[in-house]
A = this chain, B = another copy of it.
Amino acid sequence: MQKIILVTNDDGIYSPGIRFLSQIAKSYGKVMVIAPDKPQSGMGHAITINSTLRIEKTNYHQTEWEYACSGTPVDCVKMGINHFLKQKPDLVLSGVNHGSNSSINVIYSGTMSAALEGALEGAPSIGFSLCNYSVEARFEQYEPFVRKIIETSFSHPMPKGTCWNVNIPDLPSDMIKGIKFVRQAKAHWVEKFDERIDPYGRSYYWLTGNFVNFEPESTDTDEWALQNGYISIVPTQADLTDRQHLNELKKLFHE
């Protein structure tokens, strides 16, 4: 039986990155594209509960089914699976994101939240990101890697509830050394708020920041892999429990 593949992203349904991914997906099955009707970067795992959702059919991807949704990336996955397909897809693909979602970026990322939502729905899911923010980025050159990763997910299924966070370094494809399965590097952003004055004399702010890797020396992280010319894959899941601290607290308070 033909596979059903749901494709989404956070840059919006008309982005080059998702078009690249939807065309690859076609060769593996019937494709539903359901993606935000406008850019939704940095939306994290947001869902739309205080307002309503709208859906428009589109024809940009020339896939089996295709919808632009007014909601977040997570809304798109929920709606695609529960409202349109009414069944679990065989694969959820999110991206290709224009920009890195490695390390701590995973929790701010609409792309990865969509992949994680697919995993929560019980579908194997992969989020792809390219460490290049330009709309001119040449995605096509990475097609062999993207295909290899998708095919690896078929031959080595991920456990239910887990998805893959794939980041591709900003290198010409012939400079990429290979693929590494790695863990999420510990890092954070040091923010700076760029204050400006509007034409009416009132302040407004742009959020800006610098990424700080807390463990640049570790060689088993996604940051290391990307810095060293590898595509990184982090198996990613949604249980945030700090088990070590939990065990300490249980010993202190419950024993």
Contacts and interface: CB of A to CB of B under 8 A. Distances in A.
Interface of A: 39, 41-50, 52-55, 71-72, 74-75, 78-79, 81-83, 104, 106-108, 113, 116, 120-122, 156, 158-159, 161-162, 165, 179-184, 186, 188-193, 195-196, 202-207, 209, 233-246, 249-250, 252-254
A78 B233 CA distance: 28
Given A55-B205, A234-B241, A46 B47 contact: no
B250 A242 contact: no
Contacts of A104: 120, 238
Given A78-B207, A191-B82, A50 B39 contact: yes
A61 to B, nearest CB: 21
Nearest to A69: B205
Contacts of A180: 254
A193 B254 CA distance: 42
A201 B249 CA distance: 56
Could you say how many copies of this chain the assembly holds? 2
A108 B47 contact: yes
Contact of A240 (B121, B181, B238, B249): B238
Given A162-B245, A181-B253, A204-B53, A191 B78 contact: yes
A247 to B, nearest CB: 9
Given A82-B193, A159-B242, A47 B42 contact: yes
A44 B43 CA distance: 8
Given A181-B254, A240-B107, A246-B183, A48 B44 contact: no
A240 B240 contact: yes
6 contacts: A44-B47, A46-B46, A46-B72, A54-B202, A55-B205, A179-B253
Contacts of A239: 183-184, 186
Contacts of A183: 239, 241, 243, 246
A78 B204 CA distance: 15
Contacts of A245: 158-159, 162, 235, 237
